[in-house]
Amino acid sequence: MGFFRLLKILNVARRYGLDEMMLSYTKKSWVMRAMRVIRLGRRFDNSRGERLRLALEALGPIFVKFGQVLSTRRDLIPADMIVELSKLQDDVPPFDSDTSIRIIEKELHQPIDKLFQHFNPTPVASASVAQVHYARLFDGTEVAVKVLRPGMLDIIEKDLSLLKTIAKWVQRLLVDGKRLRPVEVVNEFDKYLHDELDLMIEASNCSQLRRNFDTKEREGLIQIPEVIWSHTSRQVFTMQWMNGVPTSHVDVLKEAGVDLKDLAQKGVEIFFTQVFEDGFFHADMHPGNILVSLDKNSFGQYIGLDYGIVGSLSEFDKNYLAQNFLAFFNRDYRRVARLHIESGWVPKDTREEELEAAVRAVCEPYFDLPLSQISLGQVLMRLFQTSRRFNVEIQPQLVLLQKTLLNVEGMGRDLYPDLDLWDTAKPFLEKWMNQRLGPKGFIENIKKEAPYWAGMIPAMPRLIYDQLSKENRLQELEAQLSRLNKRSKVNTLLMGIMAVSLLAMVVFMFVKIG
């Protein structure tokens, strides 16, 4: 089966000229000669990006999904190919309804009529990995039932194995193969696909996002469906049914009286809230997954769907990104350059003023323009071109963030073209930075750490003594310091440790009392 699948891939590659496209990036003499032979009798009128898209569509759903992932890698893929890859859709015909019911009954261990008061066997949506059915529980709750396509794991494993082999050859043959990191890209895709094949992971993502926004401060920003855990397994995901209008249907929203400017601004707020406050964000925010409610009880609120792709950021990532964003908003390009050098994203010998000048040349023309005249895609593309020049190391955890930011840009432009993204985001980031780095943030951090200090502080003198006395380290240290006539520094160090311990205890008591 794998051999015949490989033959099909090679045949499709030849039909659309992908072999010639790939070989054109190598300077190996034997490859150049082979390319001249391959080219005989073939002529292509359409662009290389269109040919790549058509080839991926011909190879089936897994390769379509791989193309969708590639469309987010503006750091690796040329702009003309990105445009075509962004057109890829993974809508596929639904699988048999009897099969869907059989999977549900097997996974949930009950007949369909015992699980649901009503179940519509005709799916309301179908994609490459799963399809969705409308149903109603016995208490009257309307639900969406997502069912994984049968046999997907075997199909994915075989295609991934071939993709990994192709990636190794690309890395070996292409001049720029190492920088493009094809093996790493395929490995990322591997993880992403396997996560999608476990609907319990998607359900837990949905539950986490719902919990994050289920607070008084965030009330009215976005609705996240409730997970019906009793009807959820690795191959079946049941959630609350949500009614809404896709954000791309602007005329319908206008006619209904939705405030599009407010909606666009809330979209930006939701994005930055997820990224900088939670470090956990919906990473597939296209119009098919983000709806707007027209119900009188939640009129004008966003509705989030499909949680197979989420991103997460560490505390370091969040702080670093926030400082970069604020530096951009304040046009402090020297600060941006310094942050990149300090973080190790560029080589340490990079000249700060050169990187500053390059970043300024990219960003300065776009300030003071409405969103309708700004393409973040173009800005990012130019930044990535600059990054290659300075050997910037692209951070994998930020790839999904870049993709999501482009989705937010697209929705903002559809809803309210004159939205000023910079003015909308800047106050939020400034407030967030003040909360994190100001007095309030300091106290909150102390409160978080206080339970750990409570257990550590009483044991600190013993731990210090044990560490210093272990394997006669104290005696060795004293002997060395005696020879250097610096014994007084030991006393200073110990006094310093005691002072820090006392200060920690005082702060701990202050927090507990406060």
pLDDT value for 75? 55
Of 287, 384, 507, 371, nearest in space to 73 by CA = 384
Q: How confident is the model at residue 83 (pLDDT cuts 50, 70, 90)?
A: confident
What is the per-residue burial (b if ≥16 Cβ within 10 Å, else e) of 485-503?
Answer: eeeeeeeeeeeeeeeebee
Digit-coded pLDDT (tens) for 414-437: 788 877 766 777 777 777 777 766
Please report, for residues 114, 124, 227, 453, the alpha-carbon distance to residue 241 in angstroms, rounded to integers and kept in the order given: 19, 12, 10, 46
Tokens, residue 230: 């009793």
Average pLDDT over residues 400-423: 75
Is residue 166 helix, strand or coil?
helix
β-bridge partners, 135: 119, 143
Digit-coded pLDDT (tens) for 146-202: 999 888 877 778 778 877 887 787 777 665 566 566 777 777 777 777 777 899 999
Q: How confident is the model at residue 469 (pLDDT cuts 50, 70, 90)?
A: low
Rounding to the nearest 10 degrees, give the CA dihedral for residues 324, 329, 334, 336.
20
Residues of the chain with pLDDT > 90, as a percent, come to 21
Say whether 284 is catalytic: yes
Q: Measure the CA–CA gap between 277 and 429, rounded to whole angstroms.
A: 10
Q: Measure the CA–CA gap between 420 and 371, rounded to whole angstroms.
A: 6
Q: Measure the CA–CA gap between 444 and 281, rounded to whole angstroms.
A: 23
The tokens 């996974």 sit on which residue? Answer: 107
Q: How confident is the model at residue 107 (pLDDT cuts 50, 70, 90)?
A: very high
Q: How confident is the model at residue 339 (pLDDT cuts 50, 70, 90)?
A: confident
Which contiguous run of DSSP H or E holds residue 99?
A: helix 97-108
pLDDT value for 497? 43
Provide the sign of the torsion angle of the four alpha carbons 437, 438, 444, 448, taken in this order.
positive
User: Of 18-27, 75-84, 258-267, 327-336, which range is least confident?
Assistant: 18-27
Of 200, 203, 253, nearest in space to 224 by CA = 203
pLDDT value for 396? 58
Residues 6 or more apart in contact with residue 513 via CB below 8 angstroms:
none
Average pLDDT over residues 220-233: 94
**Per the residue annotation, which of 75, 159, 284, 317 is the catalytic one?**
284
Q: How confident is the model at residue 238 (pLDDT cuts 50, 70, 90)?
A: very high
Q: Measure the CA–CA gap between 429 and 488, rounded to whole angstroms.
A: 47
Q: How many residues does the chain have?
A: 514
Average pLDDT over residues 25-45: 62
Is the per-residue pLDDT at 357 higher than 50? yes
Average pLDDT over residues 119-131: 90
User: Of 138-152, 213-227, 256-270, 365-379, which range is least confident?
Assistant: 365-379
Is the per-residue pLDDT at 234 higher than 80? yes
Is the per-residue pLDDT at 140 higher than 90? yes
- pTM of the predicted model, to two decimals? 0.71
